[in-house]
Amino acid sequence: MGLLSKKDSKLILDPLADNNPITIQVLGICSALAITAELKASIVMSISVLFVMGVGNVVISLMRNIIPSKIRIIVQLVVVAFLVIIVDLVLKAFAYELSKTLSVFVGLIITNCIIMGRFEAFALGNGIWRSFLDGIGNALGYGVILIIVGFFRELLGSGTLLGFKVLGDPIEKTGLYAIGYENNGFMLLSPMALIVVGILIWVQRSRNKALIED
């Protein structure tokens, strides 16, 4: 094993599959429903969460011995909110266009329960390097699901991927639409995100029976 020890790489790989924050721990569902109607938004959200999780876990890990346990949740919330607002301000000043795309996500990142969950469950009790890896791993696990859901919702709901009309033009009736295919507008609504996540959970558990709870 090269860069990472076996224990360390488990921190990254576990959340991608057998301990996925969305499909196994069922955290962060609200943002998974809210922004997966298109693939681009899913990707932007994944990258934002990757950043906040990585840095946030390190900050909490650094402070883990001085945070009073009675108010630790509030401290975590302050750290997340602080990070997100600073990023938002810097983007507004130096990358205004990008910041407008991201502004919608700011509130969703602060309230993302995966972030709070990892702070609470991992960073408060582990060293900096391991906390960093855990943050990255969980953010990736979250991002993977977001991107899968976003892929199917945009493809089936709008017939596009990242804005490109991959199935032809629904108004001009070209491509698949020429033979009578129609976009399913229901895919764009939040309930379908829940159903897509449900299908993912079902597929994952049917392939790995060990994940099924009694």
Closest CA to 148 of 200, 83, 85: 200
Q: Does 67 bind another protein (CB under 8 A)?
A: yes
Centroid of chain to Cα 136: 11
For residue 161, the SS3 value is strand
Q: Does 37 bind another protein (CB under 8 A)?
A: yes
Residue selected from 128, 189, 194, 201 as contacting another protein according to rule CB under 8 A: 189
Nearer Cβ to another protein, position 24 or 148? 148
Q: Does 75 bind another protein (CB under 8 A)?
A: yes
Q: Does 85 bind another protein (CB under 8 A)?
A: yes
Q: How far is the CB of 133 from another protein (least distance, A)?
A: 26
Centroid of chain to Cα 67: 27
Q: Which residues of 193-210 are buried (b: 16+ CB within 10 A; e: fewer)?
A: beebbeebbeebeeeeee
Q: How far is the CB of 87 from another protein (least distance, A)?
A: 10
Q: How far is the CB of 112 from another protein (least distance, A)?
A: 15
Read off φ and ψ for residue 164, nearest 5 degrees: -85, 135
As a whole number of angstroms, the distance between CA 24 and CA 208 comes to 12
Q: Among the candidate windows 28-36, 50-58, 118-126, 128-136, which touches another protein by CB under 8 A?
A: 28-36
Q: Give the residues across from 161 on adjacent strands.
A: 164
The helix or strand, by DSSP H or E, that contains position 177, with its residue range, turns out to be none
Residue selected from 30, 98, 104, 121 as contacting another protein according to rule CB under 8 A: 104
The total number of residues shown for the chain amounts to 214
As a whole number of angstroms, the distance between CA 63 and CA 61 comes to 5
Closest CA to 81 of 121, 115, 30, 129: 115
Nearer Cβ to another protein, position 40 or 205? 40
Residues 135-154 interacting with another protein (rule: CB under 8 A): 153-154
Q: Does 89 bind another protein (CB under 8 A)?
A: yes
Tell me how many residues contact another protein (CB under 8 A).
Answer: 40
Residue selected from 1, 2, 3, 94 as contacting another protein according to rule CB under 8 A: 94
Query: Which stretches of the chain bind another protein, using CB under 8 A?
Result: 34-38, 40-41, 65-71, 74-75, 78, 82, 85-86, 89-90, 92-94, 96, 100, 103-104, 107, 153-154, 157-158, 163, 171, 183, 185, 188-189
